[in-house]
């Protein structure tokens, strides 16, 4: 399968790879997907008192498009409020990376990951809202 | 070193230059371009002579009589002709067929078609090492079983089925025995008499011959009958009509002749390369060889690198031409059906890479491959949340995954 240049760039130079301490109350963790399906994404966000995402980290088991989708996501969410980050749509990711139809599910997974990370943060900090998590 | 390094010889092989040279003599006005079926002039006679010589070479590699070789367009057509041809001819005797879940799609899809036509097919599960349990085969045979089809060598994992033992179970019951030998011909010895097969599918392009040509061995003593699937001028004793592709046929003949001469030394060399590759990867954690390592053709190594997804690994190995699953199925997102049939879990099936070495693979290629794999597996595992969890001692089977 031929990959687009943006996918290749993120795959070869993934941004913000790594982990935060899950137990830290300022950290929201979202892990979505399943090994049996061939992709697992873990996205972590560090949120400040103003509800702004200061930093994001990811690790992804999956194809190049899944890695690229999560890498891109870490760049996009940085500096956004939780509300803004929660509005990122999979179609925006798919469009930016020019994902082919068979790889759209990778962008869906990325959207699920940020929603799950936000929900985790809110739950930990007693701000559990009815967020549409994965 | 030329890159990417070709390590996908089970998908196809380059035509050996010696084969290409022979083929070129059967195309132009200056060459023997005639129709082998033309009886009235020397152009036809010369072409026929070349075709019959090639038939002899193909027969010689498998210890058959040249009259038992039917030219086809490749192993897929041979499989179709064998299964449909035998099923249609012998359907008044019975309508039950037995095969294996790890067969090539050319068998499985043909079997599905026969099911649609009213035949019954039993698909046997192989053992975890990829080999067939003979007891399970015996138990699956019925009074109305007319045909058993078991591939000689599996295209993904390279394991060798014991055809002689299978034949000893199948033949006394008067059941026909077919085998797809596309992946074994020219790699390991084949003796149709000793193996006791009635029908055997062959391909040229896996043996350094051209694409688009193959053959079906059809036993004459006792005679095996087939209903033709391609009708026309009655070529190939009525079993497969169509003008014979002289240049393709001489190419297959020359390729099979070279294979017969060089197989033994080549097998030893390839086994050495595979042992080097496997030894070079042995210090990487969580690596699993798929399929039996002993009952396996020399040039195949199929490995799962746990916690690394196969497609991203192939992307990382862009300097290597390797495949994940077989080339026929890699367009889909499903993990290999062959590995799943072995009982491999989906994670390991998703993480598999097939390396197949051949005539032009060098020791230098193996050393480069080993270095590259160390580097890329390390990098992708650093990216993998599953690897981190494994390292932290988390049992991945105990995690509640959000399936999607």
CB distance from B116 to chain A under 8 Å?
Answer: no
The verdict on a CB contact (< 8 Å) between B403 and A108 is no
Tokens of B18: 């010696």
Tokens of B256: 């099979």
CA neighbor of A29 nearest in space, from B403, B379, B385: B385
- End-to-end CA, chain B: 43
Residues of chain A contacting residue B304, judged by C-beta atoms under 8 Å apart: none
Mutate to test the interface with B, among A40, A74, A113 (most CBs of B within 10 A): A40
Whole-number Cα distances in Å, B285 to A101, B282, B301, B320, B397: 35, 8, 17, 21, 19
* CA within 13 Å, CB half, B154: 33
In angstroms, the CA B77 to CA B72 distance is 6
CB distance from B394 to chain A under 8 Å?
Answer: no
In angstroms, the separation between the Cα of residue B254 and the nearest Cα of chain A is 34
Q: What local confidence, expressed as pLDDT, does residue B207 receive?
A: 98
Q: What is the ipTM of this complex?
A: 0.91
What would the mean pLDDT of B233-254 be, rounded to a whole number?
A: 97
- Stretch 69-98 of chain A: residues touching chain B, C-beta under 8 Å: none
- Mean per-residue pLDDT over chain B, rounded: 95
The verdict on a CB contact (< 8 Å) between B384 and A35 is no
pLDDT in tens, A87-110: 999 999 999 999 998 889 999 999
B240 and B97 Cβ atoms separated by less than 8 Å: no
Distant-in-sequence, close-in-space partners of B12: CB < 8 Å, separation ≥ 6: B205, B206, B211
In angstroms, the CA B207 to CA B253 distance is 10
pTM of the predicted model over 0.80: yes
Q: Which residue of B307, B335, B385 is in closest CB contact with A31?
A: B385
Examine the pLDDT at A41 and tell me if it is beyond 70.
Answer: yes
Q: Is A37 a catalytic residue?
A: yes
In angstroms, the separation between the Cα of residue A32 and the nearest Cα of chain B is 6
Mutate to test the interface with B, among A61, A65, A120 (most CBs of B within 10 A): A61
Examine the pLDDT at B392 and tell me if it is beyond 90.
Answer: yes
Q: Which residue of B315, B401, B403 is in closest CB contact with A64?
A: B315
In angstroms, the separation between the Cα of residue B373 and the nearest Cα of chain A is 15
Tokens of B148: 């058993």
Whole-number Cα distances in Å, B119 to B93, B218, B257: 12, 22, 39
The verdict on a CB contact (< 8 Å) between B347 and A35 is yes
CA neighbor of B138 nearest in space, from B98, B190, B96: B98
pLDDT in tens, B320-368: 999 875 444 444 457 788 999 999 888 888 889 999 999 999 999 999 9
CB distance from B305 to chain A under 8 Å?
Answer: no
Confidence of residue B82 (pLDDT cuts 50, 70, 90): very high
CB distance from B398 to chain A under 8 Å?
Answer: no
Q: From A1, which residue of chain B is nearest by alpha-carbon distance?
A: B331
């Amino acid at each position: 399968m031929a990959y687009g240049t943006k996918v290749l760039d993120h795959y070869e130079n993934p941004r913000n790879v790594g982990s935060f301490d899950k137990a830290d109350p300022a950290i929201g963790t979202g892990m979505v997907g399943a090994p049996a399906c061939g992709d697992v994404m873990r996205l972590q966000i560090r949120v400040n008192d103003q509800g702004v995402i200061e930093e994001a980290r990811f690790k992804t088991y999956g194809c190049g498009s899944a890695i690229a989708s999560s890498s891109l996501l870490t760049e996009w969410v940085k500096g956004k409020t939780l509300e803004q980050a929660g509005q990122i749509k999979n179609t925006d990711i798919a469009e930016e990376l020019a994902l082919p139809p068979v790889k759209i599910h990778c962008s869906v997974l990325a959207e699920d990951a940020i929603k799950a990370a936000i929900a985790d943060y809110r739950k930990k900090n007693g701000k559990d809202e009815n967020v549409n998590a994965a | 070193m030329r890159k990417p390094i070709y390590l996908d010889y089970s998908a196809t092989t380059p035509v050996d230059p010696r084969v290409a040279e022979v083929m070129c003599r059967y195309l132009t006005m200056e060459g023997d371009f005639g129709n082998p079926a033309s009886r009235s002039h020397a152009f036809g006679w010369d072409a026929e002579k070349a075709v019959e010589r090639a038939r002899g070479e193909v027969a010689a590699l498998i210890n058959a009589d040249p009259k038992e070789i039917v030219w086809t367009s490749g192993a897929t057509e041979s499989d179709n002709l064998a299964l449909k041809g035998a099923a249609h001819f012998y359907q008044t005797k019975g309508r039950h067929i037995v095969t294996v879940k790890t067969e090539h799609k050319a068998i499985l899809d043909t079997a599905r078609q026969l099911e649609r036509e009213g035949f019954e097919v039993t698909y046997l599960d192989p053992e975890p090492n990829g080999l067939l349990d003979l007891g399970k085969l015996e138990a699956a045979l019925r009074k109305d079983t007319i045909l058993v089809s078991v591939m000689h060598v599996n295209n993904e994992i390279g394991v060798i089925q014991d055809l002689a033992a299978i034949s000893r179970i199948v033949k006394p019951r008067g059941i026909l025995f077919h085998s797809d030998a596309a992946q074994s011909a020219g790699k390991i010895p084949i003796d149709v008499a000793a193996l006791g097969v009635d029908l055997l599918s062959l391909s040229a392009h896996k043996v350094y011959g051209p694409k688009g040509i193959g053959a079906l061995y059809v036993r004459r003593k006792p005679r095996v009958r087939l209903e033709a699937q391609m009708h026309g001028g009655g070529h190939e004793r009525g079993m497969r009509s169509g003008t014979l592709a002289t240049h393709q046929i001489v190419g297959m003949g020359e390729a099979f002749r070279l294979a017969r001469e060089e197989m033994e030394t080549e097998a030893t060399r390839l086994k050495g390369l595979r042992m080097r590759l496997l030894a070079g990867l042995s210090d990487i954690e969580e690596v699993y060889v798929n399929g039996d390592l002993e009952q396996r053709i020399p040039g195949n190594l199929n490995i799962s690198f746990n916690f690394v997804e196969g497609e991203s690994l192939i992307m990382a190995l862009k300097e290597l031409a390797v495949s994940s699953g077989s080339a026929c199925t890699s367009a889909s997102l499903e993990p290999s059906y062959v590995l799943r049939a072995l009982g491999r879990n989906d994670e390991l099936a998703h993480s598999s890479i097939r390396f197949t070495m051949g005539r032009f693979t060098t020791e230098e290629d193996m050393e480069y491959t080993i270095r590259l794999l160390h580097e890329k597996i390390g990098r992708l595992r650093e990216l993998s949340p599953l690897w981190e969890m494994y390292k932290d001692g988390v049992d991945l089977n105990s995690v509640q995954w959000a399936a999607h």
